[in-house]
Amino acid sequence: MVNAIILAGGYGTRLRPITCSIPKPMMPVINQPLLKMIIQKLLQEIQLNKVVIAVNYRAHDIEAYMNEWQKELSCEIHVQDERKPLGTGGALKFSQALLDDDRFFMLNGDVISFFSYTNMLEQHKETNAMATISAIRVPDVSRYGVLVSDKNSNLIRDFYEKPRTTELIKKYSIYPVNAGTYLLEPAIFDFMEPEKKISIEKDVFPKVAKQDVAYKFEFSGIWKDFGLPEEYLAGNFIILDEETKRLGVENIIDESVQIGEGTTINPPVCFDRDVRIGENCTIGPNVILGNGVQVGNDVTISESVFLENCYIENNNEIIRVIMGDGVKTGTDVHLVGPAIMGSNVYVDDQVTLIAVSNQTVKICPWVTLTVESVENASSNGAFIH
């Protein structure tokens, strides 16, 4: 049997204000928590004994959800609250007692990768590796850790973190970068001290590589980080496209959804339970509506994700917006993002809010947006509170 640990300890600061009330790993992706989607994808291929989720922010929210969902699974789920940030290696060491009985996958809770875990496991066994590190080719290596590998094999010789100068970028562009999914043997714990903040990428893997037991597993395909608002939108739309192709459908629409006369749905879209859409609307492409969302008449929505129980009045135009739970709008509202709204924001009648120079507009929870407040905020940056 194989185990898994998922690092889900981030505060999600780049996705605030929504992550003020929802842990980033629980942010919905096509109306499923990101963390659930990551675990499901792993379970589709690998029979797991246990899954450890390492958290240090809103652990109770994650634990409550996982305790309920675990009833449907054949593996154990353990939520480990670090209490203080320990880094990627420290979080792993903190969970050693749950993981030192077998090899285990290590994944990031804000990244989705599309590759074969089965093939990764087979290569790991064939090479007798202590660490197998997923790797992917990217156009710009300056944002990532580079895996300097042997020309004739997958053996990793060295690591280089985020080459920045033109000369270094040219030198290291021939190599793939670390894609953040690892398959590890329990012997990896010997390289870590307990209760210390440790980076597995910077402090542990270079030592493992010197013993010639670290290998890359290179893949091509989808590799998506959900850390920024624009990445969160793009990631939802990529996964929506993949899922509709897999299911052989244009849209993913729950059978309880009601759509009014004269409304056009431009694929792909994903509508959860009890969504209500009025008459003469144009919805899509790339629109994801959470449970209980209600949309009035003569509304246009595209390139947007709405969480649960949003209410959109008549004559709205909404483009490239992430809406938190319970957001409501009045009539004749025009929102053009990128924009991200916290829970329970109210947008008053006739408000027009357009992002300037592609800078994401962020609106704090429980704020009421009026015509006057938007005009006042236009000269005070992109954060409205």
The residues assigned a catalytic role are: 162
Distance of CA 82 to the CA centre of its chain: 21
106, exposed or middle or buried, with CB in 10 Å at 0-12, 13-18, 19+?
buried
What separation in angstroms does the CA of 206 have from each of 160, 166, 175, 194? 9, 24, 16, 19
How far from chain centre, in Å, is Cα 8? 10
Rounded distance, CA 295 to CA 344, Å? 16
Please provide the DSSP assignment of 92-160 as one string. Answer: HHHTHHHHTTS-EEEEETTEEE-S-HHHHHHHHHHHT-SEEEEEE--S-GGGSEEEEE-TTSSBEEEEE
Buried-exposed string 196-231: b where 16+ CB fall within 10 A, e elsewhere: eebebbebbbbebbeeebbbbbbbeeebbebbebee
Using DSSP's 3-state secondary structure scheme, residue 354 falls into: strand
Q: What is the DSSP string of 28-65?
A: EETTEEHHHHHHHHHHTT--EEEEEEEESSSHHHHHHH
Q: How far apart (Å, rounded) are the C-alpha atoms in residues 298 and 321?
A: 18
Cβ-Cβ contacts under 8 Å for 187 (sequence gap 6 or more): 130
